Structure 1
Amino acid sequence: MIGYDEFRRGMRRLAAGVSIISTQSTAGPLGITATAVTSLTPDPPSVLCCVNKNLVAGNAIRQNRSFCLNLLRQQHHSLARRFAGMDGVSGTAKFDEGAWVTLASGTPALADSLVSFDCQLDRVVEAGTHHVLIGVIHEIRLGELGNPLVYCGGNFTSLLPH
């Protein structure tokens, strides 16, 4: 059987784009850094996000049934660390940095992201330690083109052109 640590070491070699999943709670905005996100289907336009079951932000998403998937650019590495809990900031205080706007749905979106997808939660699937969240996209906010932030080998990095 493959152990927890062995799995994590192997998956660290998978390069992934970095996002902040944001939502609104009764206490205010909440968010987490995520790499386990992907497009799901164009009809209806949907995304898939994997969120640890123990995270308060994940509970808030399941309660209010909405979230925003914000794709980060390389300049957002400090925000990625902040929302991952790497600098000791938690809860709504994470939103004290960054340019945040409130969408019509009430969900916070990063104003200078590569793109923000405002989603209505369609369904939740339990999978081990995580919930797989499927969101139907109701609004897309395209930002300026730029170099995406990537996570690989335990580090935030960016793409290099060939």
Structure 2
Amino acid sequence: MPVDRAEFAAALGQYAAGVCLLTVRDGIDDVGTTVSSVMSVSADPPLVAVALTSAGYPAEVLEEVGSCGLTVLAAQHAIVASRFSSAGRPSARHLLESVPWSRAAGSGAIVLDDGVVALDCRLDRLVPAGDHVVALLVVDAVPVLGAGARPLLRLRGRYVDESGVPHARP
């Protein structure tokens, strides 16, 4: 008997996950998306994995460009996470007007200056996985390391702080 999709989503929602912003600079514009399916894969070579909707524009642009920035969002970035998870979003630069950011040296992608950490990455390969693709990313540099920053988490469909308290709506 197949698992009910809503029950499956509710079950996985019980797992607190860090929230990240993946950005790609494609020569014309900057594309970004909020992701919470991120994991460390290997220390040697340094690899991380990110799950992206296979039919989504960010996956298409990442495959074409071959590099990206990945920022682990800090607690104060709940509104940024919401902006980048909305459909029909404008250019990444427009969604970050009041947020300090810079460009990663290798990929040229946007990384947030006050994130928990930011990674400058190259695409190793995309692996089909159901309605998603898993992007295996080689980490070339760590342009931001905010060791004291409080992380933004997603739990039960809401953005929460590290103690599980939901963020107040602005």
Normalised TM-score (structure 2): 0.87
Query: Structure 1 CA distance, aligned partners of 2:150 and 2:9?
Result: 26
SS class of match (1:112): coil
1:111 corresponding residue in structure 2: 113
Task: For residue 144 of structure 1, report the CA deviation from its aligned partner.
Answer: 4.7
Please identify, of 8-17 and 93-102, the stretch whose mean Cα deviation from structure 2 is larger: 93-102
Q: Assess if the C-alpha contact under 8 Å between 1:21 and 1:68 holds in 2.
A: yes
CA RMSD of aligned residues (A): 1.7
1:74 corresponding residue in structure 2: 75
1:158 corresponding residue in structure 2: 161
Q: Assess if the C-alpha contact under 8 Å between 2:80 and 2:96 holds in 1.
A: no
Please identify, of 23-32 and 95-104, the stretch whose mean Cα deviation from structure 2 is larger: 95-104
2:123 corresponding residue in structure 1: 121
Q: What is the identity, as a one-letter code, of the residue corresponding to 2:149?
A: G
* Structure 1 unaligned regions, length at least 5: none
Shift >6 Å, 4+ stretches:
none
Q: Assess if the C-alpha contact under 8 Å between 2:69 and 2:104 holds in 1.
A: no
1:85 corresponding residue in structure 2: 86
Q: Count the aligned residue pairs.
A: 160
Q: What is the identity, as a one-letter code, of the residue corresponding to 2:97?
A: D
Deviations 1:69-88 (A, max 9, x none): 100111111101111117x6
1:43 corresponding residue in structure 2: 44
SS class of match (1:96): coil
Match of 1:147 among 135, 145, 150: 150
Please identify, of 60-69 and 24-33, the stretch whose mean Cα deviation from structure 2 is larger: 24-33
* Structure 2 unaligned regions, length at least 5: 165-170
